[in-house]
């Protein structure tokens, strides 16, 4: 599709750097929101009396709607207007954050997080389009997207510390409230700066595809949650699993039938791209689950404060940034499959190291080595994975393929957190049934649950190793500066 009515910012117009600042702040809000809320979750769970079974909805409600509506958000920004959708997304995200901060129970918080995800799915693709149209010189575009990518990768580290500071000194709800003034001020700044741009073409929207996919995944998460409470053979669990299967079948059938699908199947049926999306999905499962359970382990078993927990995750963020830089240099020289297989093996070994956690474990001899190995492995995975997910993709499918990489990671994280939280809850219940509910058993039951969850995460990373080893067969990939806007890595958290 072409933008015949687009008014592109002049290369000599200094406003383009102010536009970059506005877009960067919006992206930072989206990235920060995941890591900030992760650190605050144990405190929020206690304050709102959320059960261990339901706590995963704080993560999954956001990830599901963000991932589920990302492709639709991109199409809306193209045909309704990038500026309009960007500002709507900013204001909606800000108001949803205020709703979440004022939550009086778990249901209100879950709903606010789901609404946040919808508006984040509008903001993110609009942001990328705005940058593409603002920076037309190759060198400046590379700089702009380099800054954008650095925020996507490094913003999580800022969120870890910010989440700890806000939770410890102001209250968990400020982890959400803080988005409200920032979002509204950024939207007001964007109004005079941004110029509207609209793409021409068929303006039909695949609403059925977006809602059937998201509803199907939500039903699947709900089934996992019910399984923790009532068992896998309970009528409600089986019913929700059946509903999830039916909705996902409707989604696939819709995408195969309509002329303008949300997800053209040709994008995922290519061997290299399909393997990359599967690997992204599996990496999301293991990564999101690791953050959830390690956060609870550090705060509830080792007694860390929220701030100390945020600091404890910093080696992980630094490791990914350094490893991604190394992978970027190695990618033109090595087969991407070699990097990804090595990365998944290292990530699996780091996850396996976490199985050693105990009540009196030392951070520097148990958690730190696991974080270091996992982060280096994930950096080696994500950089070549981003490149192979766009390999040989048609120009008109490049935006969809790029968005799908983020979608698979978010959806994988949502399903992984839900499933592994159910496994954790079941493992804790089984431990208490076997060992009674004395003081020692109550202390060790969560440790047993964490170990089981980390074993499952390790299995997921092993599956990721096989996925890239047997599906990805691309040769060396040379850098392609012309598509730098489509090659921005998905947010790590």
The first and second tokens of residue 274, run together, are 């399909």
Residue reference for tokens 């550090």: 298
Does 264-493 match 13-195 at the fold level?
yes
Give me the mean pLDDT over the 185-202 stretch: 81
| CA distance to 51, 120, 262, 283, per residue, from 406 (Å) | 29, 12, 15, 11
Give me the mean pLDDT over the 85-95 stretch: 94
Q: What is the pLDDT of residues 165-179, one digit of tens each?
A: 999 999 999 999 999
| CA distance to 22, 75, 86, 245, per residue, from 121 (Å) | 17, 11, 10, 24
Residue 486 CA from chain centroid, whole number: 17
- State the pLDDT at residue 2: 42
- State the pLDDT at residue 47: 95
Q: Whole-structure pTM over 0.85, yes or no?
A: yes
Give me the mean pLDDT over the 152-159 stretch: 72
pLDDT confidence of 127, banded at 50, 70, 90?
confident
Considering the four listed CATH numbers 3.40.50.300, 1.20.1250.20, 1.10.3720.10, 1.10.150.20, the one that applies to the domain covering 264-493 is 1.20.1250.20
pLDDT top residue among 198 and 61: 61
Give me the mean pLDDT over the 205-228 stretch: 85
pLDDT top residue among 205 and 462: 462
Give me the mean pLDDT over the 424-445 stretch: 90
Task: Report how far residue 97's alpha carbon sits from residue 115's, in angstroms, rounded to the nearest whole number.
Answer: 9
CB 425 within 8 A of CB 53: yes
> To which CATH superfamily is domain 13-195 assigned?
MFS general substrate transporter like domains (1.20.1250.20)
- State the pLDDT at residue 440: 87
- State the pLDDT at residue 149: 67
pLDDT at 489 over 50: no
Task: Report how far residue 10's alpha carbon sits from residue 273's, in angstroms, rounded to the nearest whole number.
Answer: 36
Q: What is the pLDDT of residues 279-292, one digit of tens each?
A: 999 999 998 888 89
Integer Rg of the chain from CA: 22
Q: What is the mean pLDDT of the chain?
A: 85
Task: Report how far residue 326's alpha carbon sits from residue 339's, in angstroms, rounded to the nearest whole number.
Answer: 11
pLDDT at 268 over 50: yes
Hey, where are the domains in the chain? 13-195, 264-493
pLDDT at 96 over 90: yes
Taking CA 276 as the corner, what is the angle to CA 29 and CA 380, rounded to the nearest 5 degrees? 70
Task: Report how far residue 399's alpha carbon sits from residue 40's, in angstroms, rounded to the nearest whole number.
Answer: 33
Q: What is the pLDDT of residues 156-167, one digit of tens each?
A: 778 888 889 999
Give me the mean pLDDT over the 27-55 stretch: 89
pLDDT top residue among 359 and 230: 359
């Amino acid at each position: 599709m072409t933008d015949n009515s687009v008014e592109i910012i002049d290369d000599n117009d200094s406003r383009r750097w102010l536009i970059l600042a506005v877009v960067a702040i919006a992206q930072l809000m989206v990235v920060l929101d995941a890591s900030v809320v992760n650190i605050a979750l144990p405190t929020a769970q206690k304050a709102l009396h959320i059960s261990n079974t339901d706590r995963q909805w704080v993560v999954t409600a956001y990830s599901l709607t963000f991932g589920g509506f990302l492709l639709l958000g991109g199409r809306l920004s193209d045909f309704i207007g990038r500026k309009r959708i960007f500002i709507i997304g900013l204001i909606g995200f800000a108001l949803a954050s205020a709703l979440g901060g004022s939550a009086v129970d778990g249901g209100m918080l879950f709903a606010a997080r789901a609404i946040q995800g919808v508006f984040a799915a509008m903001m993110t693709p609009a942001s990328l389009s705005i940058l593409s149209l603002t920076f037309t010189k190759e060198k400046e575009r590379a700089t702009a997207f380099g800054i954008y990518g650095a925020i996507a990768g490094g913003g999580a580290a800022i969120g870890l510390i910010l989440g700890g500071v806000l939770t410890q000194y102001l209250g968990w709800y400020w982890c959400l409230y803080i988005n409200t003034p920032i979002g509204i001020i950024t939207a007001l700044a964007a109004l005079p700066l941004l110029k509207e741009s609209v793409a021409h073409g068929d303006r039909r929207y695949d609403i059925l595809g977006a809602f059937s996919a998201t509803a199907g995944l939500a039903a699947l998460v709900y089934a996992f949650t019910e399984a923790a409470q009532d068992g896998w053979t309970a009528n409600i669990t089986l019913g929700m699993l059946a509903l999830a299967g039916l909705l996902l079948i409707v989604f696939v059938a819709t995408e195969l039938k309509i002329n303008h699908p949300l997800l053209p199947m040709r994008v995922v049926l290519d061997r290299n791209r399909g393997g990359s999306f599967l690997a992204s999905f599996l990496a999301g499962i293991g990564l999101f689950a690791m953050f959830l359970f390690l956060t609870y382990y550090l705060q509830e078993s080792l007694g860390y404060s929220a701030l100390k927990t945020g600091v404890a995750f910093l080696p992980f963020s630094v490791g990914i940034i350094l490893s991604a830089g190394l992978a970027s240099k190695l990618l033109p020289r090595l087969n991407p499959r070699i990097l990804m297989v090595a990365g998944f093996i290292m990530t699996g070994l780091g996850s396996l190291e976490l199985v050693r956690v105990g009540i009196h474990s030392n951070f520097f001899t148990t958690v730190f080595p696991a974080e270091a190995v996992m982060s280096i492995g994930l950096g080696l995975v994500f950089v070549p994975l981003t490149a192979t997910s766009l390999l040989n993709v048609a120009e008109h499918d490049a935006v969809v393929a790029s968005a799908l990489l983020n979608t698979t990671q978010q959806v994988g994280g949502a399903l992984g957190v839900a499933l592994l939280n159910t496994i954790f809850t079941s493992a804790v219940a089984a431990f208490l049934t076997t060992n009674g509910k004395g003081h020692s058993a109550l202390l060790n039951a969560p440790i047993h649950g964490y170990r089981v969850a980390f074993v499952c995460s390790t299995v997921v990373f092993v599956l990721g190793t096989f996925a890239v080893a047997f599906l990805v067969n691309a040769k060396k990939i040379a850098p392609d500066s012309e598509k730098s806007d489509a090659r921005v890595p998905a947010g790590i958290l």
